[in-house]
Chain A
Amino acid sequence: MTAVVTAHGVTKRFGDVTALDDVSFALAEHTIYGLLGRNGAGKTTLMQILTGQAFASSGNVSVFDAPPVENPAVLSKVCFVRESQRYPHVYTVRHVFRAARRLFANWDDTFAHGLAADFQLPAGRLVRRLSRGMLSALGVTVGLAARAPLTFFDEPYLGLDPAARQLFYDRLLADYAGHPRTVVLSTHLIDEVSDLVERVLLIDRGRLLLDEDADDLRGRAVAATGRAEAVDGFAAGRTELHRERLSGLVRSTILGGLGPHAKALAQTLNVELEPLSLQQLVVHLTVPPMTTAPADREAAR
């Protein structure tokens, strides 16, 4: 694997808040990554540090084998599309495209105009007068047409409706096939991108929880449903993430447990197994410890 990005022990503090805590990972070239995590987990901060827009409190970052901060050789290969990108007051959509054409070496004007037509972006309109959805479409268009070898999308598609998001995913995949590059998608819409991303980075409260192939993760956890003793028997010796009671039955979320041995055991115990979706897995891994036990919550109902 050729590493495009390597991060070692990256930590970022804002006063006494630790936004990133000792984060280390590598990004390979020609791969689509999903950068997942809850609001405030540190996703944007991490991408800002990787693109030289913010400064790490400690740790090392290398992008294309060099530190990205104030490094034109590195940054010329990087495009970071931010959901909260600010545009100058007087800029129209057309101005944004012209600027991008001048600043990004691989910019494809035809592709950009095709995308703008797909998203129905009005070229003459001031950016500050665009609707939320159009602003997202503008960011997505710049990010795709820049064709930067390393492209970050920080939830710019948040304002897009489902049809427009599908359009984005389709265009991204089609263009990626012709122009492979490293893409990092930060998102909450995990199920939507779960077929798109090849590898998952999961951040929670500033810490990197997962850095794994999406395919491996999909088989990583199961929901086991059955009578309490049966589920207890199945869960014994495995990591249980979550448990809930449903009318006399117990449904437990368990890490691992999709191997042939586990399947046989489940059959013997009469426990029903179903694989957990990426989104459910992420939810179970990142919810804070419960303040009330499940049984109490049930009693309160």
Chain B
Amino acid sequence: MNRIRQVARLQMPAWPQIVGWTWSMMAVAFGINLLSFMANYDPGDGVTTTGGLVSLCGMAIGMAAVSVTQIFPYALGMSVTRREFYLAWSLLAVVQSVVYALVLCLLRAVEQATGYWGVGMRFFGLPFMDDANPVLLLLGYAVPMLVVTHLGILLGTLHLRWGTTGVLAGLTLAFTALGLAAALITWARQWHAIGRWLLDQSPTALLAGWPVLVAAAFAVGGYGLMRRATA
């Protein structure tokens, strides 16, 4: 564990950039949303949810992918094993997800205290988690972050193995598979059943339960690919 922590610290010099860029982008997205809400605000409108958190997910994916492609070749040169590197980056993903989730909980509290920034804009709040207890709320933020960060690591590893072609081919395959699955579901007229299954799930299962499995799948895939990666 100590060795994994030492390897994880290889990312430390990049933290100002990772945290700085991620939250600067968030601030920009927040500012633009706020401006447009202020321009169109009508007290009778109630509260509208934005998709603002998507930008955070996008940044988390990009930052994780870049940090893998930047630091893995260096780590390998410093006699670090691929396994140590993967575990270290997975540990970083957990820490980063929990820290970001705490910040988001805080921002959500501010959001609610200010009456949705005074303009009915729900930017940080999560859908269907209004009456969740603090622990579930934290998990509701942290687990999806964990998923996207591991997706970023997976994309970075694809880049290590097969370059840009690998990333593009991987994404194409994923979209093809998802598209085919959607077509198949339509063909079999199963959307209704899937919708009902989703409604039967608790918010916790949807935001924290099932995504853990997705994160685990990305982690297994990423580790499997990294084991044969070369600098």
Which A positions have Cβ atoms within 8 angstroms of B?
Answer: 48, 51-55, 70-72, 75-76, 78-80, 82, 85-92, 95, 99-100, 102-104, 148
**Cβ–Cβ contact B230 & A48, under 8 A:** yes
**Cβ–Cβ contact B228 & A70, under 8 A:** no
Judged by DSSP, the binding face of A is: loop
Min CB gap A236→B, angstroms: 51
Min CB gap B230→A, angstroms: 5
Query: Could you say which residues of chain A place their CB within 8 Å of the CB of B70?
Result: 88-89
Tell me, in angstroms, the Cα distance from A15 to B74 when the chains sit together: 26
In chain B, what residue has the closest Cβ to A74? B79
In chain B, what residue has the closest Cβ to A102? B6
**Cβ–Cβ contact A76 & B79, under 8 A:** yes
Query: Could you say which residues of chain B place their CB within 8 Å of the CB of A86?
Result: 73-74, 77, 231
Query: Given contacts A55-B228, A88-B13, is CB(A70)–CB(B74) below 8 Å?
Result: no
**Cβ–Cβ contact A88 & B14, under 8 A:** yes
Interface string of B75-99 (1 = CB under 8 A from A): 0111111111000000000000000
Partner of B77, one of A54, A82, A90: A82
**Cβ–Cβ contact B13 & A80, under 8 A:** no
**Cβ–Cβ contact A104 & B83, under 8 A:** no
Query: Could you say which residues of chain A place their CB within 8 Å of the CB of B230?
Result: 48, 53-55
Tell me, in angstroms, the Cα distance from A71 to B3 when the chains sit together: 13
In chain B, what residue has the closest Cβ to A81? B77
Tell me, in angstroms, the Cα distance from A82 to B9 when the chains sit together: 22
**Cβ–Cβ contact A75 & B74, under 8 A:** no
Query: Could you say which residues of chain B place their CB within 8 Å of the CB of A100?
Result: 78
- B7 interface hit (Cβ, 8 Å): yes
**Cβ–Cβ contact A92 & B6, under 8 A:** no
- B10 interface hit (Cβ, 8 Å): yes
Query: Could you say which residues of chain B place their CB within 8 Å of the CB of A78?
Result: 79
Partner of A102, one of B9, B74, B76, B231: B9
Query: Could you say which residues of chain B place their CB within 8 Å of the CB of A102?
Result: 6, 9
Min CB gap A145→B, angstroms: 13
